[in-house]
Structure formats: C-alpha cells, structure tokens
Amino acid sequence: NAGVTQTPKFRILKIGQSMTLQCTQDMNHNYMYWYRQDPGMGLKLIYYSVGAGITDKGEVPNGYNVSRTTTEDFPLRLELAAPSQTSVYFCASTMGLTQVGTGELFFGEGSRLTVL
Amino acid sequence: KQEVTQIPAALSVPEGENLVLNCSFTDSAIYNLQWFRQDPGKGLTSLLLIQSSQREQTSGRLNASLDKSSGRSTLYIAASQPGDSATYLCAVRRSWSGGYQKVTFGTGTKLQVIP
C-alpha cells in the first residue's frame, strides 16, 4: 500500500523562487490536508480540500496556493518563497463523511523545505 | 473553537516504567480521536484511533482510553522501552455539524525513556 506519497523529500530554494510540493494518495479519500511544522512546534493547517474541485484556507494560507483537480492529487504551490516558509510540510488524507471507513488520518513522510 | 492540550510537554522516565500521557479537549462533539508518534526529523506514525462511541483501544503495549464527557483521552504505555522515546501527539476530529470536519492537534508530549 502506497498510502500518502509526498515529493520531493528535501528541497532548498532561493528567496523569490517558486515550487510545487506534490501529494498523492491511493485510498480514494475525499479529505486532504496540507500542514506545516516549524522546528519544535506543532502542526499548522495551511489548506484543506473536501473533494475534487473544493479547497479552502486553513490557519496559515498566506504565500501558498492549492488545487484539487482529481481525488488523488493535492499539490501545494509556494509562490515567491521567503525564509519564513522554511519548514517541514506534511500532506494528510482521510475519508469524507459519505465514505466508508474508520476516519483514520494518514500522513505522508513530509517534505523538508529550506529557503535561503 | 476546539482546543487540545497535552500535559506534560515533556516527560523523562526510566526504562520499564508504565506511563500515562494525557490529552484534553474542550469540545466533546468529536468524531474520533487519534494518537500519533513522531520521531525526530520524521513523519507522523498512527498508533491508535478511537471512535467517539468507543471507550478504549489497545495495540500491544499501548492502550488508549476516551472519556468524551470529561474531554479527556489517555495513552497508557506499559513497560516502557528506549525505543518508545518520541513525541506523542493526539488529534481530535470534530463531529459533523455541517461543512468541514476540522482536525485539531495537540502540541505533543516529548517522551524520553532512559535505559
């Protein structure tokens, strides 16, 4: 089982560059999330999606964009990278209300981003 | 607004001790509660999931309980080992009341088991 797959695992960006973090899940989950975790801190929600074509902002959306064109994929776009975006990014997924399952939240292994 | 608190923030115990980690939440309208562990520099590994209708779940040396009415969950670790050293997080998923079921994370308890 692949579960939730994130790429890349590591990336160094220069200030002002842009990039996309990829997230794919193979569990047919409707709900997908992007979190960031700063060193020694908890998880903060950036964006979430409840299904293809539906996304919404979390607690810290500034500087990021997302799209959800398919159930499987939920890419996170960083525009004009800033040092404050240095963090570890986690993608997660879980079933939606109309889906059968336990509601367990599954995480990817994370993408470690450094902006210099 | 749901608030999830984990106390203590850090805990150091000798190997072999039984220990309890606490997770408190302010809104009892939950769908489920999930415990994770996170090793340094790593992702989140799911340990146990408790549905709102359940009182406890067990996996090996781990036992998680849930008391919705008091807004508490505990993670019991029996016969702790150095390999249990990690940060433990609880996450609460809100029950559906229209719209999005928010998941709220606690800030974690950092456990160190000393050989």
- For the segment B16-70, what is each residue's pLDDT rounded down to a tens digit? 999 999 999 999 989 999 999 999 888 999 999 999 999 999 999 999 999 999 9
Task: Spell out which residues of chain B touch residue A41, defining contact as CB-CB under 8 Å.
Answer: 107
In contact, A76 and A46? CB cutoff 8 Å: yes
- A58, A70 contact by CB (below 8 A): no
Q: Given this model, what pLDDT does residue B101 score?
A: 78
pLDDT in tens, B75-108: 999 999 999 999 999 999 988 766 677 899 998 9
Q: Is the dihedral of CA B39, A3, B106, A76 positive or negative?
A: positive
Is the minimum CB–CB distance between A106 and chain B shorter than 8 Å?
Answer: yes
State whether A104 and B107 contact (CB < 8 Å). no
pLDDT computed for residue B92 by the predictor: 94
pLDDT of residue B98: 64
What number of helices (H) and strands (E) belong to chain A? 0, 11
Residue in A46, A105, A106 to test binding to B, most B beta-carbons within 10 Å: A105
Q: What are phi and psi of B82, to 5 degrees?
A: -55, -30
Q: Give pLDDT tens digits along chain A (116 positions).
A: 679 999 999 999 999 999 999 999 999 999 999 999 998 888 999 999 999 999 999 999 999 999 999 999 999 999 899 999 999 999 999 987 777 677 889 999 999 999 99
In this predicted structure, what is the pLDDT of residue A1?
65
Nearest to A50 among B32, B36, B100 (CB): B100
**In terms of CA atoms, which chain B residue is nearest residue A103?**
B32
pLDDT of res. B95: 81
Q: How far is the C-alpha of A94 from the C-alpha of A39, rounded, in Å?
A: 25
